[in-house]
Amino acid sequence: MNKGQVTITDIARELGISPSTVSKALHGHPDISVSTKVAVRDLAEKWNYKPDQIALSLQSGLSKIIGVIVPEIVHYFFSTVISGIEDLAHDSGYHVMFCQSNESYEREVKSVNTLLSCRVDGILVSLSKGTHEFDHFNKIRRNGIPLVFFDRICCEIETDRVVVDDEAGACEAVKHLINSGCRNIVHLSGPQYLQIGKNRKEGYLRAHDELNLPVDNNNIIRCDTPEETRLVVPELLKRANRPDGFFAVNDLTAAAAMSVIKESGLRVPEDILLVGFTSGMISDITSPTLSSVEQHGYQMGREAVRLLIDRLEKNRESPYQTVVIKTELVVKESSVCCNNKY
Amino acid sequence: MNKGQVTITDIARELGISPSTVSKALHGHPDISVSTKVAVRDLAEKWNYKPDQIALSLQSGLSKIIGVIVPEIVHYFFSTVISGIEDLAHDSGYHVMFCQSNESYEREVKSVNTLLSCRVDGILVSLSKGTHEFDHFNKIRRNGIPLVFFDRICCEIETDRVVVDDEAGACEAVKHLINSGCRNIVHLSGPQYLQIGKNRKEGYLRAHDELNLPVDNNNIIRCDTPEETRLVVPELLKRANRPDGFFAVNDLTAAAAMSVIKESGLRVPEDILLVGFTSGMISDITSPTLSSVEQHGYQMGREAVRLLIDRLEKNRESPYQTVVIKTELVVKESSVCCNNKY
DNA sequence: TTGAAAGCGCTAACAT
DNA sequence: ATGTTAGCGCTTTCAA
């Protein structure tokens, strides 16, 4: 037992046997006599022997490491996804190595190179906002390493994907408002160059379409931060045909809208109903509590890992899949009004 | 170029030279002729050669991996810490492998074993709530692997540490309330078996002590969730000597308290001042915006990595350090009142 | 200027 | 039942 951690050779030397015998004994190989097995295992236990993953990786050509690239961790949704990734990877005997792109293309490329250099068995990516070139992903594929996109997917690259069904979630939320009696619903929308902004607006439109309610384009407002909300919403409340419902692209905006509405003397949900789109525990601290569309990030993380491991361990050539994670409308107080007008 | 990624041997074979020559050429060894260097580098470039970290690790005995164990990622504070860890590690040429203990002792022990098995160069840990035995950490030390605790530290093990100065932050917050005129401040406190709960209460007490204000023990209330807040705070507001300030152990509780206060017809900050302790972007969405103590998790992550890498690359035997991350009182609207009573 | 050989820790095929 | 050998990809003497 020299410097660092105990090796198989240390044990072999101590017991006066060969390293390969130790290896076999540790693996319960039938060739090895019971007495040797016992001796080896006891000493391994006593010396706290742990197989060297690095040596195993080199030997087997498999690192048992999954590489993950996310735009940023400090973001409720991504942290739930990462949590799901870590949990399932761990339970499946994989380790997780992860990188933040910090929304930068250069850093995303660097991260890909890092992970490739680390010989990870597979890579999970959610695109950075700054990424408009995709050749680094082709490089991954050319190296024969499975790739799964999640949430912010890359349409230009054919591979496994996991996405949230934003549009369906938005549609369900808006239908809920309509069915609760709203006829003049404002959508506080996100930037349309982002998929989530676009999808959620589509859901808003489709809900109106499917329930045969006309859409007033003046009701679609670009506003997705508390600051913008404080500027924009007071104006909306002064309209002759005051909105009777709000569907916000995220909970932060919805919560800010709730504050503004209450300050103006109107009541939620009695006068105006409100639904957001999940971004943490915000929906519980507002008063009234905020109805919101839940995105199941944790489950998304697990699905991404599942797709990857399936490809790694089962059929590497099976056709690519796109898994859609269902959203779920969680109705709380802000959208339930007893004195329904209809 | 056989199956997986390109190796030094592939390049050597193609060029009809030996692997060791390729290695030297790639490293700009002076022995190697310029022409060979050029040829090697061109082909390496063309074939997208990336050194195999696994082989390098085995060879050098250094994995360039930092292992991280956190209770859970889905937690604003920890996600900021992790972000800081990843950023500095990345910039310093290290990779990050991470594990969630999910607040479970068993899983923390398993994670330690995993990281040991992966031969990480060092380990960063924030204790799980379920951990009351610490022998797995001694094991790390016995293997000669540097260990740094952050935030939820382990007092039983002598090693490098990074902590937040919770008490000072709490003290500053409460002093701010007192200096703003409050004379009857309620502390909505966390569980006292957790360090943060204890420290923040200590800060509350010290502020009173240092400003010569007596403490009414009835003003220290165990309450650290929105649910509890809705039960507890209405009662407090009915007291004959109604509180004129609240200091909450976290922002969720503070935000919930704000809602309750406003619903009771009282105003923040005109009637009651309010300060929380950061847990995300909550402080921006409340109305009025919430004053809060910022914990600088990102910086804490960077400090933890810095301590680790210093020990790894500089002096492994230098005395252990405890770095204290200063908190910072961020005053927003909830604690600034013009019509100050004093 | 280049190459051969050994070794990092481990496994597995092939002796003994 | 146990040992020997080779090799995973790379670096590093040492030899040519």
Please spell the DSSP secondary structure of B123-137, one letter per residue: EEE---TT----HHH
Contact between residue A83 and residue A53 where contact means Cβ atoms under 8 Å apart: no
| Distance separating alpha carbons of residues B333 and A93, to the nearest angstrom | 49
Per-residue pLDDT band for A287 (boundaries 50, 70, 90) equals confident
| Distance separating alpha carbons of residues B294 and B292, to the nearest angstrom | 6
Write down all domains in chain A, each with its CATH number in brackets.
8-51 (1.10.260.40), 63-164+297-325 (3.40.50.2300), 166-294+329-335 (3.40.50.2300)
Q: Is residue B47 less than 8 Å (CB to CB) from chain A?
A: no
What pTM was computed for the model? 0.91
User: Higher-confidence residue: A322 or A193?
Assistant: A322
Output the six-digit token pair for B193. 């078996």
Of B255, B250, B268, B242, which is closest to residue B200 (Cα–Cα)?
B250
Mean pLDDT of successive 10-residue stretches along chain B, which has 342 residues: 77 94 94 93 94 95 96 93 97 95 96 96 95 94 94 93 96 97 97 90 98 96 93 96 96 92 92 92 84 96 98 91 96 82 44
Q: In Å, how far is A111's CA from the nearest CA of chain B?
A: 9
DSSP class of residue B255 equals H
> For A338-342, what is the mean pLDDT?
52
Contact between residue A250 and residue A224 where contact means Cβ atoms under 8 Å apart: yes
Question: Residue A119 has what pLDDT?
Answer: 95
CA at A18, C1' at D2: how many angstroms apart? 8
Per-residue pLDDT band for A1 (boundaries 50, 70, 90) equals very low
Question: Residue A190 has what pLDDT?
Answer: 93
Output the six-digit token pair for B114. 């995993």
Q: Tell me which protein residue sits closest to nucleotide C8, measuring alpha carbon to C1'.
A: B59
Interface A–B counts its CB contacts (< 8 A) at: 148
Residues 119-148 of chain A with CB under 8 A from chain B are: 119, 139, 142-144
In the 3-class helix/strand/coil scheme, how is A237-267 assigned residue by residue?
HCCCCCCCEEEECCHHHHHHHHHHHHHCCCC
Output the six-digit token pair for B13. 């074979």
| Distance separating alpha carbons of residues A181 and B88, to the nearest angstrom | 53
pLDDT one-digit tens code per residue, B49-95: 999 999 999 999 999 999 999 999 999 999 999 999 999 999 999 99
Torsion of CA B28, B31, B34, B37, to 10 degrees: -50
Spell out which residues of A between 15 and 54 contact strand D, using CB within 7 Å: 16-21, 24, 29-33, 35-36
Question: Residue B186 has what pLDDT?
Answer: 98
Burial label, A160 (beta-carbon count in 10 A; 0-12, 13-18, 19+): buried
Q: How far from A33 is each of A28, A30, A36, B300, CA to CA, in Å? A: 10, 8, 5, 53
Answer for B218: CB within 7 Å of strand C.
Answer: no
Start-to-end CA distance of chain B, whole Å, equals 81
pLDDT one-digit tens code per residue, B229-251: 999 999 999 999 999 999 999 99
| Distance separating alpha carbons of residues A5 and B87, to the nearest angstrom | 29
Per-residue pLDDT band for A193 (boundaries 50, 70, 90) equals confident
Of A337, A173, A197, which is closest to residue A271 (Cα–Cα)?
A337
